[in-house]
Chains A and B, each alone.
Chain A
Amino acid sequence: MTIEEIKDFLKTYDGEEIRLMEVCGSHTEAIAKNGIPAMLSPKIRLLSGPGCPVCVTPSAYIDRLIELAKEPDTVVATFGDLIRVPGSRESLSEAKGSGANVAMVYSPLDVLPLAKEHPETIYIFAAVGFETTTPVYACLLEQLEAEEIENVRLLTALKTMPAVIGYMLENGAKIDGFLAPGHVSVVTGSEIFKPLAEKNNIPFCVAGFQGNELLVALYDLVKNQHQGVVKNDYPAVVTERGNEKANELINHYFEPSDAVWRGIGNVKNSGRLLKGAYQKYDAGSRGLDDDAKINAACICDQVLMGKKKPPECPLFGKVCKPLSPQGACMVSTEGSCFSYFANGRCDK
């Protein structure tokens, strides 16, 4: 089948209504950038699930970061996206404006030269992310150990796939197929989705990030409705079993844990924490489970679960905009609400 035939199929599909979900922030962004919703039949609906690490970080975690950033001789180092996520009272960006010490970096390893140059300052890295980012934190820990650097800690909010998908399916999310995350699958392998596919009798398809790769994966999901299969449409980089070296590195420093997902709740075995002796690098990541809504009308929870679309939120585009996010999904360029707002994910 040619790509033109696939495009035609997706545009003219007239079978039962199908709801497909992506659970990777980069897929959310790529779908918007390629203008894919406008290429699909109205019978195929795309939903954005909990795939943006920033969007699923609970408010208690943000509050703890702010508390640390206000301590003397302490600097919180973070990726840019996180600084605008609302905590229960304020965001890191607002705290920074009133004197909290926050440094934006592009890589966790950027704190190494700072820490070496200023041994009197404690650097806290805001370690959020999925399987894709966790190996980099493990590399940072390796360096800290090797160079005996004592003044760096991690505040972790690490998440893992695919437990949250199972949780959503068990808790009322009606989804007929998943675009499985391309980057995460490089580490985990595609087979990790097999039990969920078989149990729920729905297809999973590991997709790449180019426009045509996404179209092929969407076609496969439509074609394999009601079948518990895992298709790997990103075979150039994703294998069945994943990257064993990265997994070894992760498992050396971290252990599986339950985790709170913003708007969704506590999901068993869906996160990671520093383990054993390495807890000396932990800045207090355990028990950060509170998850306050800053605006009671916010429906980020239902958006993340695929129950509603961002424009159905009464706050969307009115009080909730990228510069004044009321919920976490409006913060990151990978967030569903941001994507709808800024990239014009204007599906009918």
Chain B
Amino acid sequence: MTGTITMQHGSGGSATGELIREVFAETFQSEVINQMEDAAVVEGCANIAITTDSFVVTPLIYSGGDIGRLAVCGTVNDLLSRGATPKYLTCGFILEEGTPIATLKTIVRSMAETAREAGVKLVAGDTKVIEGSSRNGDKQSKDGANAINAGGITDGGIYINTAGVGFLTGNFKNNPASAGIISAKNARPGDKIIVTGNLGDHHAALLAARMEIETDIKSDNAPLCEIVEAIRDLEVHTIRDITRGGLATVLKELAETADQTFVIESEKIPVDEKVQDFCGILGLDPLYMGNEGKMAVIVAEKDAEKALANIKKAKYGENAKIIGEVTEPKSEADRGALYEKTAIGGLRSLSVLQGEGLPRIC
């Protein structure tokens, strides 16, 4: 199947059937999808984790990844953040007419590969077609007005929603704090804060693409199953996917939820040198930049070194670092506060990201 997406592909008729068979079913190779039922029936367990996420990133294909890989990783990592083992995904596609079938195929193939890597099955899907707006554009977007990003890149045309189900059987049994449930509210004084790798790569890769800056920075989008698998036997209290808003936003929210004080040290925060330079030039702060393959893990002090060693051995965890700790609030102002000890010995308090960040990075 070649050419571009037309309104017919959303008709529900033969063109839709052809699209589903030749692009999706053929690539996903799922027995459940091939049954072409209205809903998938799959094996279950007692406790499940459920989540959903939509993906609207531009450009669709970027250095180190694409919207398809992102759509799998985003949802898989959300499930992992509750300590679940990701099992099933559904995917909904919204396609603009004019989208080349070849582009769609590349993205669907990438989804299938990433799902295999993550050990999840794509079991149900849906496709809708809409009039093209970002690709063909009205006058306003063509002449640069209302183009939110630099260079007026309006390369859209494919939007994906994925929903995911994960199983919670036998997870994190060594976590007496929460009877095996990983939760944002479980952090307690003495816990260590681990970041699983370098910050800001995804954000910098996308920004570079949009600004047409040549760099070899690559997005970090990745499914982090091995990392979570590697710490299942340890006393882990909280896991959080560090996406939009960056590490500072995530840790500030966790500190507030747990009602504790979090202290991190700027010199320990892992940032790739190229990303650091890129941020320096553009006045960006890696602490507030989005990632798509990084987690913050809060673990009991006694297991912290072991957790770090295990994470560093896992796929995508080689640059993990212990960056700080959870402390007892000493005053009312310390409750829910996130402090950063700076390299020169100063102290600053960090808030969540203010303002917009970068639009449509995921």
| Distance between B213 CB and nearest chain A CB, rounded to angstroms | 10
Q: Which of B140, B340, B342, B355 contacts A101 (CB 8 A)?
A: B140
Contact A35 B346 (CB under 8 A): yes
Taken together as a complex, chains A and B put the C-alpha atoms of A238 and B359 apart, in Å, by 36
Given A33-B285, A323-B355, A342-B354, A102 and B145 touching (CB < 8 A)? yes
Contact B146 A103 (CB under 8 A): yes
Asked whether any CB of chain A lies closer than 8 Å to the CB of B348, the reply is yes
One of A104-112, A197-205, A275-283 at the interface: A104-112
| Distance between B311 CB and nearest chain A CB, rounded to angstroms | 28
| Distance between A24 CB and nearest chain B CB, rounded to angstroms | 13
Tell me which residues across on chain B come within 8 A of A341, comparing CB atoms: 351, 354
Task: Flag A50-84 by CB within 8 Å of B: 1 or 0 each.
Answer: 00000000000000000000000001010000001
Asked whether any CB of chain A lies closer than 8 Å to the CB of B102, the reply is no
Taken together as a complex, chains A and B put the C-alpha atoms of A90 and B347 apart, in Å, by 37
One of B148-156, B173-181, B231-239, B313-321 at the interface: B148-156
Contact B342 A34 (CB under 8 A): yes
Tell me which residues across on chain B come within 8 A of A36, comparing CB atoms: 344, 346
Closest 4 CB pairs of A and B: A35-B346, A344-B349, A101-B145, A211-B344
Restricting to A292-348, which residues have a CB under 8 Å from any CB of B? 321-323, 333, 338, 341-346
What are 29 pairs between A and B in contact, CB < 8 Å? A7-B345, A26-B283, A33-B342, A34-B348, A35-B341, A35-B346, A35-B347, A36-B344, A38-B347, A39-B345, A39-B347, A75-B144, A77-B144, A104-B147, A104-B148, A104-B150, A106-B150, A106-B211, A110-B150, A114-B152, A117-B143, A118-B142, A211-B343, A211-B344, A321-B354, A323-B354, A341-B351, A344-B351, A346-B349
Number of A-B contacts (CB under 8 A): 97
Restricting to A13-29, which residues have a CB under 8 Å from any CB of B? 26, 29
Restricting to A209-261, which residues have a CB under 8 Å from any CB of B? 211-212, 215
Minimum CB distance partner of B344 in chain A: A211
Taken together as a complex, chains A and B put the C-alpha atoms of A34 and B347 apart, in Å, by 7
Tell me which residues across on chain A come within 8 A of B344, comparing CB atoms: 7, 34-36, 39, 211-212, 215
Tell me which residues across on chain A come within 8 A of B40, comparing CB atoms: none
Task: Flag A2-14 by CB within 8 Å of B: 1 or 0 each.
Answer: 0000010000000
| Distance between A7 CB and nearest chain B CB, rounded to angstroms | 6
Given A7-B345, A33-B348, A211-B344, A103 and B354 touching (CB < 8 A)? no
| Distance between A325 CB and nearest chain B CB, rounded to angstroms | 10
Restricting to B327-362, which residues have a CB under 8 Å from any CB of A? 339-351, 354-355
Task: Flag A31-44 by CB within 8 Å of B: 1 or 0 each.
Answer: 01111111100000
Minimum CB distance partner of A334 in chain B: B283
Contact B145 A110 (CB under 8 A): no
Taken together as a complex, chains A and B put the C-alpha atoms of A36 and B355 apart, in Å, by 24
Contact A38 B355 (CB under 8 A): no
Which residues of chain A have a CB within 8 Å of any CB of chain B? 7, 26, 29, 32-39, 75, 77, 84, 96, 101-106, 110-111, 114, 117-118, 121, 123, 211-212, 215, 321-323, 333, 338, 341-346
Instruction: Among B144, B211, B344, find the residue whose CB has the most chain A CB atoms closer than 10 A.
Output: B144
Contact B150 A35 (CB under 8 A): no
Tell me which residues across on chain B come within 8 A of A211, comparing CB atoms: 342-344, 346
Taken together as a complex, chains A and B put the C-alpha atoms of A35 and B343 apart, in Å, by 9
Q: Which of A7, A32, A333 contacts B348 (CB 8 A)?
A: A32
Minimum CB distance partner of A75 in chain B: B145
Taken together as a complex, chains A and B put the C-alpha atoms of A103 and B148 apart, in Å, by 7
Tell me which residues across on chain B come within 8 A of A26, comparing CB atoms: 283
**10 further A-B pairs in the complex, CB-CB below 8 A; given A84-B355, A103-B152:** A35-B344, A37-B346, A39-B345, A102-B145, A111-B144, A121-B143, A211-B344, A212-B344, A344-B349, A344-B350
Q: Which of A38, A39, A103, A342 contacts B144 (CB 8 A)?
A: A103
Tell me which residues across on chain A come within 8 A of B285, comparing CB atoms: 33
Given A322-B355, A342-B351, A118 and B150 touching (CB < 8 A)? no
Tell me which residues across on chain B come within 8 A of A101, comparing CB atoms: 140, 143, 145-146
| Distance between A257 CB and nearest chain B CB, rounded to angstroms | 29
Contact A75 B349 (CB under 8 A): no
Taken together as a complex, chains A and B put the C-alpha atoms of A32 and B345 apart, in Å, by 13
Taken together as a complex, chains A and B put the C-alpha atoms of A37 and B140 apart, in Å, by 46
Q: Which of B143, B341, B348 contacts A343 (CB 8 A)?
A: B348
Tell me which residues across on chain B come within 8 A of A39, comparing CB atoms: 344-347
Instruction: Among A104, A110, A123, A323, find the residue whose CB has the most chain B CB atoms closer than 10 A.
Output: A104
Given A77-B144, A101-B140, A118-B143, A110 and B345 touching (CB < 8 A)? no
